[in-house]
């Protein structure tokens, strides 16, 4: 698991080392890690044109020291100082010694011909969007030829939330120090951060346990163990699906298929789309009766395409009245938002899977801080909330959160959510803790999207088709498709 640490948590860990007189060492580790990543991205130092955008804080110091290391290897480095009187003195001296040039925001910044632009305007000490001069140069960097690399955090992005309140530096890569900050992987910030490279500066022993995480393939593989010699079709949990309708069986077919393909055990279906499900998936045990007629299950998925009329409401209430884990998706979310007490009183895990509009029907705005919003609704309802988005967020009532690291925008296709709920139901039936299981389902669904999209535009049924291959690849380990790298 990759821990996501807030700016305050990183500062608290830094304080321990600063109190021990390690300030210079910390910045040197950060700057060296940064220079190493830059060299790797550039492929050469000699003759490379590098522009540093340098603010008045330590973030600018990191950029200056890294720039000095690149200049010492023959790069042509220009530092643009936003506040010449407050630029990090030792960093500036190091750059000058190495032959770097220094200018102001109106000077010859080299952005038109740069191979690389380092954003050291502001790091975890930043507040709000970029100020005018910084915004202007960030914009020029984004439209210029240089590869854009953010130091610690793209300037203008809130390190904790990913919120972007005004202009921000659009980085293709972000080199971050000590811990990945949530704002690099969630909300708008994710788009500004690009690929995240984590540089170890020795903070780990001093960091508080993270309250938000990203799962890796290896974490998710633990949810996908192949059956052992003593397993039978019941032993890894049976999932029940209530979804779809006689007129619109598609959601039920996708959801049931996704559950079957994720963990081929037993899937039971109950509802009016019975004929369609039977025709598509002869492996499922199907009834056109009530959930209670379906036989024993260990988890329910309720919602996709089931409608919101009185019949649908009574089916949902029946499922929620059980002491089993329940996934509340799509139409079931609409009904639960009308009657949140259907969910609130439950003792067994409930996982809600809203997109933004469905989420806001519960009376909580999503806003720019998606993790906090998901935590708020989770605490209010006593349920796990999986808030779908470019980076899906999962929050548990106790505040534990996960941010999904996989996926592709190709997943925004009709029926994609039905597939996710089927995957989630089948993993939940194994009885593993609901929040991490929901995060594992989002991870697997995102991976399926990446694998399916590699062949071209995707339909939700393509996701179902590639699920077995996806499970195999995730079990095989390796995070080759994940947007992170160690450095």
Ligand X SMILES: NC(=O)C1=CN([C@@H]2O[C@H](COP(=O)(O)OP(=O)(O)OC[C@H]3O[C@@H](n4cnc5c(N)ncnc54)[C@H](OP(=O)(O)O)[C@@H]3O)[C@@H](O)[C@H]2O)[C@@H](O)CC1
404 annotated to bind ligand: no
Q: From the CB of 154, what's the least distance to K ion, in Å?
A: 6
311 in a labelled binding site: no
Give the integer Cα–Cα distance in Å for 304 and 458: 19
> What is the nearest approach in angstroms of ligand X to the Cβ of residue 75?
20
Known binding residue 389? Answer is yes
Q: Which does 119 bind (CB under 5 to 8 A by kind): K ion, ligand X, none?
A: K ion
Report which DSSP code applies to 312. Answer: H
60 is in an annotated binding site: yes
User: Known binder of ligand: residue 15?
Assistant: no
Residue 423 CB, shortest distance to ligand X, in Å, is: 37
Is 62 among the residues that bind K ion (CB under 5 A)?
no
Contact call for residue 34 and K ion (CB under 5 A): no
What is the closest distance, in whole angstroms, from the C-beta atom of residue 41 to K ion in the complex? 16
62 is in an annotated binding site: yes
CA–CA gap between residue 59 and residue 55 (Å, rounded): 7
Kindly list the residues in this chain that would bind ligand X in the complex (CB under 6 A): 14, 18, 23, 26-27, 30, 55-59, 62, 121-131, 134, 151-152, 177, 201
417 marked ligand binding residue: yes
Least distance CB 58 / ligand X (angstroms): 3
Is the CB of residue 207 less than 8 Å from the CB of residue 182? no
**Contact partner at residue 365 from K ion, ligand X, none, CB < 5 to 8 Å by partner kind:** none
Interface positions, 92-131, toward K ion (CB under 5 A) = 119, 123
Give the burial class of 376: count Cβ atoms within 10 A of its Cβ; 0-12 exposed, 13-18 middle, 19 or more buried: middle
Draw the binding track, 135-164, toward K ion (x: CB under 5 A; -: no contact). ---------------xx---x---------
Partner in contact with 304, chosen from K ion, ligand X, none, beta carbon below 5 to 8 Å by kind: none
**Cα–Cα separations (whole angstroms), residue 127 to 100, 152, 165, 329, 369:** 29, 15, 9, 37, 15
Q: 92 or 326: whose CB is closer to ligand X?
A: 92
Q: Based on CB atoms, which residue is closest to K ion, 180 or 273? A: 180
Separation between Cα atoms, residue 350 and residue 343, nearest integer Å: 7
Q: Say if residues 54 and 94 touch (Cβ distance below 8 Å).
A: no
User: Is 78 in contact with 92 (CB distance < 8 Å)?
Assistant: no
Q: Which does 244 bind (CB under 5 to 8 A by kind): K ion, ligand X, none?
A: none
Q: Is 388 labelled as part of a ligand binding site?
A: yes
Three-state SS string over 337-350 comes to HHCCHHHHCCCCCE
Other Cβ atoms less than 10 A from the Cβ of 196: the count is 24
Nearest approach, Cβ of 149 to ligand X (angstroms)? Answer: 13
Name the phi and psi angles at 322, rounded to 5: -75, 170
Of 217, 241, 267, nearest to 439 by C-alpha is 217
Please check if 331 is assigned to a binding site: no
Q: How far is the CB of 402 from ligand X (least distance, A)?
A: 24
Q: Which of 192, 199, 205, 208 is nearest to 159 (CA)?
A: 192
The answer to whether 104 is annotated as binding is: no
69 binds, among K ion, ligand X, none (CB under 5 to 8 A by kind): none
The angle at the Cα of 30, spanning 27 to 32, to the nearest 5 degrees, equals 105
Nearer to ligand X, 14 or 436 (CB): 14
Task: Classify burial at 386, counting beta carbons within 10 Å of its beta carbon; exposed 0-12, middle 13-18, buried 19 or more.
Answer: buried
300 touches which of K ion, ligand X, none (CB within 5 to 8 A by kind)?
A: none
Dihedrals phi, psi of 455, to nearest 5 degrees = -100, -5
Rounded Cα gap, residues 72 and 191, in angstroms: 32
State how far Cα 398 lies from the chain centre: 19
- The answer to whether the annotation marks 129 as part of a ligand binding site is yes
Cβ 78 to ligand X, closest distance in Å?
19
Please report, in range form, the residues annotated as the binding site for (6S)-NADPHX.
Answer: 58-62, 123-129, 152, 251, 305, 355, 418
Please report, in range form, the residues annotated as the binding site.
Answer: 58-62, 119, 123-129, 152, 155, 251, 305, 355, 388-392, 417-418
Please report, in range form, the residues annotated as the binding site for K(+).
Answer: 59, 119, 155
Site residues, K ion (CB under 5 A): 119, 123, 150-151, 155
Please report, in range form, the residues annotated as the binding site for AMP.
Answer: 388-392, 417
């Amino acid at each position: 698991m990759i821990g996501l640490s807030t700016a305050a948590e990183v500062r608290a860990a830094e304080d321990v080392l600063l109190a021990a007189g390690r300030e210079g060492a910390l910045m040197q580790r950060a700057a060296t890690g940064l220079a190493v990543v830059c060299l790797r991205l550039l492929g050469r130092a000699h003759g490379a044109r590098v522009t540093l955008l340098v603010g008045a804080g330590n973030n600018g110091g990191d950029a200056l020291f890294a720039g000095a290391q690149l200049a010492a290897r023959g790069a042509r480095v220009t530092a643009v100082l936003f506040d010449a009187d407050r630029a990090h003195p030792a960093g500036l001296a190091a750059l000058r010694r190495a032959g770097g040039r220094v200018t102001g925001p109106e000077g010859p910044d080299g952005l038109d011909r740069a191979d690389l632009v380092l954003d050291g305007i502001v790091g975890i000490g930043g507040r709000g969007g970029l100020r005018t001069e910084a915004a202007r140069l960030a914009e020029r960097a984004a439209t210029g030829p240089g590869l854009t690399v953010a130091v610690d955090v793209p300037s203008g992005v809130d390190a904790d939330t990913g919120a972007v309140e005004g202009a921000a530096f659009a980085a293709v890569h972000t080199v971050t120090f000590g811990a990945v900050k949530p704002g690099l992987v969630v909300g708008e910030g994710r788009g500004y951060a690009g690929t995240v490279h984590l540089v170890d500066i020795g903070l780990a022993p001093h960091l508080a346990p993270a309250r938000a995480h990203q799962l890796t393939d290896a974490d998710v593989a633990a949810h996908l163990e192949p059956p052992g010699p003593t397993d039978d079709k019941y032993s890894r949990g049976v999932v029940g699906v209530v979804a779809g309708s006689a007129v619109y069986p598609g959601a039920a077919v996708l959801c049931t298929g996704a559950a079957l393909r994720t963990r081929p055990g037993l899937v039971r279906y109950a509802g009016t789309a019975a004929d369609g499900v039977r025709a598509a998936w002869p492996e499922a045990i199907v009834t056109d009766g009530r959930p209670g007629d379906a036989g024993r299950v260990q988890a329910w998925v309720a919602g996709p395409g089931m409608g919101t009329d009185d019949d649908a409401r009574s089916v949902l209430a029946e499922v929620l009245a059980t002491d089993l884990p329940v996934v509340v998706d799509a139409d079931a979310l609409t009904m639960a938002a009308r009657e949140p007490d259907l969910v609130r009183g439950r003792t067994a895990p409930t996982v809600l899977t809203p997109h933004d509009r469905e989420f806001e029907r519960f009376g909580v705005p999503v806003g720019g801080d998606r993790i906090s919003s998901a935590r708020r609704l989770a605490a209010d309802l006593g349920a796990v909330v999986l808030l779908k988005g470019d980076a899906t967020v999962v929050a548990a009532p106790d505040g534990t959160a996960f941010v999904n690291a996989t996926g592709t925008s190709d997943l925004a296709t009709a029926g994609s959510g039905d597939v996710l709920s089927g995957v989630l139901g089948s993993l939940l039936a194994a009885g593993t803790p609901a929040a991490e299981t929901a995060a594992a389902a989002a991870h697997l669904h995102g991976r399926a999207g990446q694998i399916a999209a590699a062949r071209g535009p995707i339909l939700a049924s393509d996701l179902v088709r590639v699920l077995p291959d996806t499970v195999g690849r995730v079990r095989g380990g390796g995070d080759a498709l994940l947007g992170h790298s160690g450095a």
